[in-house]
Chain A
């Protein structure tokens, strides 16, 4: 004869978990279904045709190149700021953090217009740059500037979280052992935070390659892939735009996955094992 233990949980349907999965599953489906629908919308022949089109090819390469450069610049400039925010107890720290997060709340078309005022031929930065022969308006530099503006918070915040996770006592130990602040940063803090820094770079890359609003205002031409797809949609309709969109999707997803694997260290570990 079995006896029920007083207060024991009743076995039955795990309602809580089911409800959570139901809600989460709806969102997952909402994200995945359009991508799948898009992927199957373009027949292989149209993909080959689109890939052979110079405009689509150039736009995709331009997007890849500009996003990669943006990720590099954002990491280079974002890591010091992230370190200051993670370690510093300076006055105005909250304000600096708010400024870092500002691009997340500014509509991207607004960001594009603001950048035009700054980087345009008569802007505070644009005017002297133009005299030096560098033009942001309608150039790759303008595209990179627009991408950098909208994606910089990802580099800073990701690195900041990574630096915060590094025990400050390790830096103190390094200093007491004779390391200068730079040596302690380079040999202890940065290696321990490198995954967070790389994750930030990957997020910047992903955010940059998909940017449309700010880029289309600062540099409508040369067209990046999203701008080119928009052009095709306006000029030739959904069918032409679909093929280019699928090509961009494949390129973006594949590069994103490779970079993400690199950032997480899995790919590096596998390569290391393969050669050892």
Chain B
């Protein structure tokens, strides 16, 4: 059962603002990271393993010291504050429930530690709201992965947090439980009036839970913005791969704005003044296929005639390998597969819509994916530009107000994010 806004009336309202945040662990360096999460919105931090996602959360909630930067929550400065005084709820990857306490006592732990009244009825009410009221007396050791995460969420919400951080809470769950928990989390987070930051390496999870998306690779904030925008226009090759774009191969800019890659020609995909070699990426689920190569009505102009190399009946989308130059992979619905009556060796026409093709400069990007900022004149990310990785701390002026409450849109844009109002 989702938590309604009325039931969380005691939650504090306010946004999270992170500016120039850096932290380090050994030789690994995180940041500088600039993020703004207005109340009621969910920011998903997406990145591969070892990108620094957990480190970011630990730094925000004070469990790891920050080197530079500012963390403000509800307008109040958190920098230097002990974790127990930040009022941030944190849900761990493996739930991190206290094994010597019952489920109910786990939920009562936070309010007790804060010296608040923590009667069993309140804890039970919270447990019922996350759908596990019947497990209140159980030991965490006896719970399933999904139940453990529900307890962890109830425990984090019991302290009436001003910010909720979720550190890959679904990654240790099996597929059916993960999908069930994903839907549950969507409901819970949608009804919270506090900002939430959810980190994951799972693209589907990120896109189904997040209002906004931030991509971190190698400790660097590559891109941030509304989830749809970031997915449609990744800032570099590494971000593109993370977001499900597939590398087609190298292409050359044959004429202004037009890129050729083997059999394929993609008009209007680069800046008209760009020249040289580029790397071409495409979305495999957007590949248009037509089983009648002589009839161009199915795929439109620009399609190439090729042969089906093989079909892998994966679910929910089947994977079709095309023997084009360069080879192309198409993800199609099974019903479309039946409609096409496609078999290996059959001729087929393949085409890619303009919006499903992105090009990136070759240069260093190919050998060091994710290390280069987008090149001016070639590609413009929609929102945040990656900050320079200086070892010096940036300085900030006095507080400019409560993000999400009264802060001007110009201020938000300056911080790297321009977010739409709460859904």
Q: Which residues of A contact B (CB under 8 A)?
A: 167, 169-170, 172-180, 183, 187-188, 191-192
Q: Is B83 an interface residue (CB 8 A)?
A: yes
Q: B residues within 8 A CB of A179?
A: 84, 109, 113
Q: How far is the CB of B54 from chain A (nearest CB, A)?
A: 10
Contact B88 A176 (CB under 8 A): yes
Q: How far is the CA of A192 from the CA of B99 in the complex (A)?
A: 8
Known contacts A178-B114, A178-B159, A179-B113: A173-B83 contact under CB 8 Å: no
Q: A residues within 8 A CB of B47?
A: none
User: Which one of B96, B111, B113 contacts A172 once the chains associate, using CB atoms below 8 Å?
Assistant: B96
Q: Is B184 an interface residue (CB 8 A)?
A: no
Q: How far is the CA of A191 from the CA of B62 in the complex (A)?
A: 25
Offer 22 A-B interface pairs, CB within 8 angstroms, sorted by A. A169-B92, A169-B94, A169-B96, A172-B58, A172-B83, A172-B90, A172-B92, A174-B113, A175-B62, A175-B82, A176-B89, A177-B89, A177-B156, A178-B85, A178-B110, A179-B109, A180-B82, A180-B84, A188-B100, A191-B100, A192-B99, A192-B100
Q: Is B215 an interface residue (CB 8 A)?
A: no
Q: A residues within 8 A CB of B264?
A: none
Contact A187 B109 (CB under 8 A): yes
Residue of A with least CB distance to B87: A178
Q: How far is the CB of A22 from chain B (nearest CB, A)?
A: 40
Contact B61 A177 (CB under 8 A): no
Q: How far is the CA of A175 from the CA of B109 in the complex (A)?
A: 11
**Known A172-B63, A177-B113, A177-B159; further 20 A-B contacts with Cβ < 8 A:** A169-B94, A169-B96, A170-B96, A173-B96, A173-B155, A174-B98, A174-B109, A174-B113, A175-B62, A175-B63, A176-B63, A177-B84, A178-B84, A178-B114, A178-B159, A180-B82, A180-B113, A187-B109, A187-B113, A191-B100
Contact B61 A176 (CB under 8 A): yes
Q: How far is the CA of A187 from the CA of B84 in the complex (A)?
A: 15
User: Which one of B86, B88, B98 contacts A188 once the chains associate, using CB atoms below 8 Å?
Assistant: B98
Q: A residues within 8 A CB of B114?
A: 177-178
Q: How far is the CA of A155 from the CA of B98 in the complex (A)?
A: 25
Residue of B with least CB distance to A172: B63
User: Which one of B85, B92, B100, B158 contacts A173 once the chains associate, using CB atoms below 8 Å?
Assistant: B92
Counting residue pairs across A and B whose Cβ atoms lie within 8 Å, the total is: 66
Residue of A with least CB distance to B105: A187
Q: B residues within 8 A CB of A188?
A: 98, 100
Q: How far is the CA of A49 from the CA of B111 in the complex (A)?
A: 62
Q: How far is the CA of A46 from the CA of B25 in the complex (A)?
A: 68
Q: B residues within 8 A CB of A178?
A: 84-85, 110-111, 113-114, 159
Chain B 145-188, CB-CB to A under 8 Å as 1, else 0, gives: 00000000001101100000000000000000000000000000
Known contacts A183-B113, A192-B99: A176-B83 contact under CB 8 Å: yes
Q: How far is the CB of B89 from chain A (nearest CB, A)?
A: 7
Contact B90 A173 (CB under 8 A): yes
Q: A residues within 8 A CB of B88?
A: 176
Q: B residues within 8 A CB of A176?
A: 61, 63, 83-84, 86, 88-90, 156
Q: A residues within 8 A CB of B58?
A: 172
Q: How far is the CA of A179 from the CA of B156 in the complex (A)?
A: 13
Q: B residues within 8 A CB of A177?
A: 84, 89, 109-110, 113-114, 155-156, 158-159
Residue of A with least CB distance to B83: A175
Q: How far is the CB of A10 from chain B (nearest CB, A)?
A: 41
Q: How far is the CA of A170 from the CA of B99 in the complex (A)?
A: 9
Chain B 109-124, CB-CB to A under 8 Å as 1, else 0, gives: 1110110000000000
Q: B residues within 8 A CB of A170?
A: 96, 98
Q: How far is the CA of A87 from the CA of B82 in the complex (A)?
A: 18
Q: How far is the CB of B178 from chain A (nearest CB, A)?
A: 20
Q: How far is the CA of A49 from the CA of B89 in the complex (A)?
A: 69
Contact B63 A167 (CB under 8 A): no
Chain B 4-38, CB-CB to A under 8 Å as 1, else 0, gives: 00000000000000000000000000000000000
Residue of B with least CB distance to A194: B100
Closest 10 CB pairs of A and B: A177-B110, A178-B114, A179-B113, A176-B90, A178-B113, A173-B96, A175-B83, A169-B96, A178-B84, A191-B100
Residue of A with least CB distance to B100: A191
Max chain B CB contacts within 10 Å: which of A174, A177, A179? A177
Q: A residues within 8 A CB of B155?
A: 173, 177
Q: How far is the CB of B121 from chain A (nearest CB, A)?
A: 19
Q: How far is the CB of B22 from chain A (nearest CB, A)?
A: 20
Q: How far is the CA of A192 from the CA of B62 in the complex (A)?
A: 24
Q: A residues within 8 A CB of B156?
A: 176-177
